[in-house]
Amino acid sequence: MLRPVLAIESSCDETATAVLAADGRILAEAVLSQREHMAFGGVVPEIAARAHLEHLPGMVARTLETAGVSPRDLGAVAASTGPGLIGGLIVGSGFAKGMAIATGVPFVAINHLEAHALTPRLPGLVEGGAPFPYLLLLVSGGHCQCVEVSGVGQYRRLGGTIDDAAGEAFDKVAKLLGLGWPGGPAVERLAREGDARRYAFPRPLLGRKGCDFSFSGLKTAVVHAVATLPAGALPRQVVADLCASFQAAVADTLADRVGHALAMMPQAKLLVVSGGVAANQALRAVLEQVAAKAGVRFAAPPLRLCGDNAVMVAWAALERLRLGYASPLDAAPKPRWPLDAEDMVIRP
Ligand code: KG4
Ligand code: ZN
């Protein structure tokens, strides 16, 4: 019987910790979204690494205390070791390895994308569970891809973005409209007040074979639309209409591409959306319709588990530990680490 797992997430600008019981129950969780980057309109890697270093020790101690778990009771320590910003990855994985050595338990190096991918399998999260295989739409600030998930460590990328990620497009549009950063939540909020038909933005790759994505042309179209408006501060309604029109274009694009991906994976009975952009209610609603039309179930993690967190890292570690997998202590952090990399496969 496994003991509780402590996990650390530090691949971007969220410092997060969690302790999960061996059965997947969440005993304690904490997420600190670093505010330090706001003034810069995007994540500054060096500042992120320093902030992880500053916050991690206290957060780990408090999470363990809240969980009522002493380091001696741990069964493993896990950390996101890629893909992501190398400074933060070094901080988090170094800390986790140190704790694993000190407590004499295994270290588990987790691929951050796998953590997003397996989140819906957390017990009790999704009605009816999320048995393999399923189609995963992973949409975050750095990633946008359709993945066939057939088991832990078994991923096949069906298609992905050829330029920007969906979250990146939200962030860039928000920046252009002066909505601050991160942009996704702000664009979604304003879009609710806007008219999605006011601006006819392009739906890149719509109807095209396969399930690749492209968002840079859409972003440029928003730039052009803004450039044609009178100079000076934009009226709130105009900004809202731009947000609504942009979001509708993203939704149509995702719906079309995911529809194609479902056709490429006829064995799928479930569509899962995960990653920061999965928090967007309008996008969820559209994807739910796509799933219904294709006759498959639809699942999305609760909002707090869509963005970066350590619960998902701990859960991925539990899934791997159950299959007898643990990582060597010299497992190096990897800024690039695709889901279908050779070393993702669990070999006996
Ligand atoms: O998964 P995540 O927390 O970090 C990465 O691994 O990238 O995703 C962050 C991204 C950001 O681009 C943010 O703007 C976007 O997710 N995001 C949203 C929403 N909430 C966060 N995009 C659209 N609508 C939202 N409600
Ligand atoms: Zn993420």
CATH code, domain carrying 158: 3.30.420.40
Domain count, the chain: 2
Q: State whether 205 and 291 are in the same domain.
A: yes
Q: Which atom of ligand 1 is nearest to the CA of 11?
A: 6
Q: Whose CA is nearest to atom 10 of ligand 1?
A: 141
Q: pTM of the entire structure?
A: 0.96
Distance 99 CA to ligand 1 centre (A): 30
Please tell me whether residues 296 and 318 are part of one structural domain: no
Residue identified by tokens 């570690």 is 317
- Closest to 105 (Cα-Cα) out of 2, 181, 189: 2
Shared domain check, 290 and 156: yes
- With respect to residue 329, please indicate whether it lies within any of the assigned structural domains: yes
Write the CA distances from 279 to 71, 83, 274, integer angstroms: 33, 21, 8
Minimum-distance ligand to the CA of 139?
A: 1
Closest atom of ligand 1 to 116 CA is 1
Q: Report which ligand 1 atom has the smallest distance to the Cα of 308.
A: 3
**Do 215 and 193 have their domain in common?**
yes
Per-residue pLDDT of the chain (348 residues; tens, 9 = 90+): 689 999 999 999 999 999 999 999 999 999 999 999 988 888 999 999 999 999 999 999 999 999 999 999 999 999 999 999 999 999 999 999 999 999 999 999 999 999 999 999 999 999 999 999 999 999 999 999 999 999 999 999 999 999 999 999 999 999 999 998 889 999 999 999 999 999 999 999 999 999 999 999 999 999 999 999 998 899 999 999 999 999 999 999 999 999 999 999 999 999 999 999 999 999 999 999 999 999 999 999 999 999 999 999 999 999 999 999 999 999 999 999 999 999 999 987
Query: Do both 21 and 169 map to the same domain?
Result: no
For the CA of 279, the nearest ligand: 1
Same domain, yes or no: 155 and 256: yes
Residues listed for the chain: 348
Looking at the structure, tell me whether residues 88 and 153 fall in a common domain: no
Q: Is the backbone peptide bond immediately before 45 cis, with ω within 30 degrees of 0?
A: no
Q: Is the CB–ligand 1 distance for residue 301 below 6 Å?
A: no
The sign one gets for the Cα dihedral 18, 340, 307, 279 is negative
Range of the domain at 56: 5-118+305-344
147 assigned to some structural domain: yes
Residue 83, ligand 1, Cβ within 6 A: no
Q: Are 176 and 223 in contact (CB under 8 A)?
A: yes
Whether residues 144 and 20 share a domain: the answer is: no
